[in-house]
Amino acid sequence: MEDAASPTPLERIKSSTVPDGGYGWVIVGCMLCINAVTWGVNTTYGVYSAYYLQHNYFAGGSTLRYAWVGGLCVAVSLSSGPLANYLVGKFGFRTPFLIGAVCVCVGQCCAGIAPNYGVFLVCQGLIFGLGLGLTMIVAQPLLAHWFDRRLALAQGIANAGSGVGALILSNTTRVVLQRIDVKWSLVINGLISISVLLPAAFLLRARDQHVGMRSHPLKISYLWHPGYMWVCLWGAFSIMAYFVAIYSLASFATSGLGLTQTQGAALQSILAAGQAIGRPCVGWALDKGGRINMTLSAYLITGLSCLVIWLPAKSFGVLILFALVQGLVGGTLWSAATPLTAKIVGVKELRSALGILWLALVIPSLVAQPIAIALLDHSERVLGRKGPEAYYISIGFCGGMGIASALLLYPAKRWIQGDWKVLKVA
């Protein structure tokens, strides 16, 4: 199928004219800040859900119901790809980005004053989730307008913003919750987000005409593209491993090993710091060692670390090691998605193909944490396991998803290089 084939020689010539720097570094800085106040803010949801459960804030609230809110938020953001691409094709990138920025702010502020669980679900899950999607999906392909050889490095630096935001905002959120209240905490975070997103919207620049980028709202042919279908499967499995790990680690520490809430929060901060450091490093490695090779290696490490570090962990020190490893490589998906897509389908089709990848991640991101909770509940209620043993099935599931995602990426490597040689750079 011609429109889903590998980059043509003309496209490769065009990619050679990409600046690989210049104003592109301003775009990187903007993207870092955008990720800090969108996906970085999103990580504070764990702080809020713990607060709601502890204080019985909403009638009928439960661990599983709050997990669905978090999953719904991510699912809505990823499923907004067709809408985002349509709006970009109609109005350019800036208009949908500004709509997303308003949704990010309004969703948080309205969640703060929500009178019941249903309104909270709409505000935090739907409105805020739509804002996350419109800002990320619209802005994500812009780096490929400015970078070619150093695209993965630029993407890694930009995506480090989510770790920086998580590290800062999760701690400031706890302070505001303790000293003021949950309503003002959400309102303050919403205002912080809009104060960063509005200037960024006018600093971002596209080079659509230079790279010839298209914006198809829903180009489903990429689901059976012989190379890209494996990227979609890799994304689906890797995002399940990612969310199970980041949402279950603190619970394992406090409920499984009996550590303090302060230690559980410290692990989340260490994981966020690992993301801030690891994503630029992973991006650099992708550019130097081959984008598929390094991504595949990162997810082998991700899966094995669950099985050989997290599973037998019995102390805070071992969990610190796991949090560092998971922070460094566990979120490689966010740094690798754009460079891998550009390598397989070319920059011209990047926005259209990414829209399909985000859709492929919707259901996995929605069900990942509820599956982990259901497995934990099965261990406790049916198998009668207590303490850390109750988490063993969930941890095994997380590790299995990580290893499976690495293996699923190997056929894409074969499609690019034309053979099954393991060590060949691709």
Q: What does pTM read for this prediction?
A: 0.82
Q: Which of 345, 136, 137, 333 is nearest to 222 (CA)?
A: 345
Cα three-residue angle 34-105-87, rounded to 5 degrees? 70
Query: Residue ranges per domain, the chain?
Result: 2-417
Cα three-residue angle 154-157-163, rounded to 5 degrees? 150
Q: Give residue 53's pLDDT.
A: 73
Each residue's pLDDT tens digit in the chain (426 positions)? Answer: 334 444 443 344 344 477 777 888 999 999 999 999 998 888 888 777 777 777 777 777 777 777 778 888 888 998 988 888 889 888 888 999 999 999 999 999 998 888 888 888 899 989 999 999 999 888 888 888 888 888 888 888 998 888 888 888 888 888 888 888 888 888 999 999 999 999 999 999 887 666 656 666 677 787 888 888 999 999 999 999 988 888 788 888 888 888 887 787 788 888 888 888 888 888 888 888 888 889 999 999 999 999 999 999 999 999 999 999 998 898 888 888 888 888 888 878 887 888 889 889 988 888 887 888 888 888 888 888 888 888 899 999 999 999 999 999 989 888 888 777 777 766
Q: Give residue 212's pLDDT.
A: 59
Radius of gyration of the chain (CA): 21
Q: Contact, 354 vs 338, CB < 8 A?
A: yes
Q: Give residue 14's pLDDT.
A: 46
| Exposure of 214 in the CB half-sphere (CA atoms within 13 A) | 13
SS3 at position 165:
helix
* Domain covering 2-417 in this structure, CATH number: 1.20.1250.20
CA–CA distance, 124 with 122 (Å, rounded to integer): 6
Q: Give residue 103's pLDDT.
A: 95
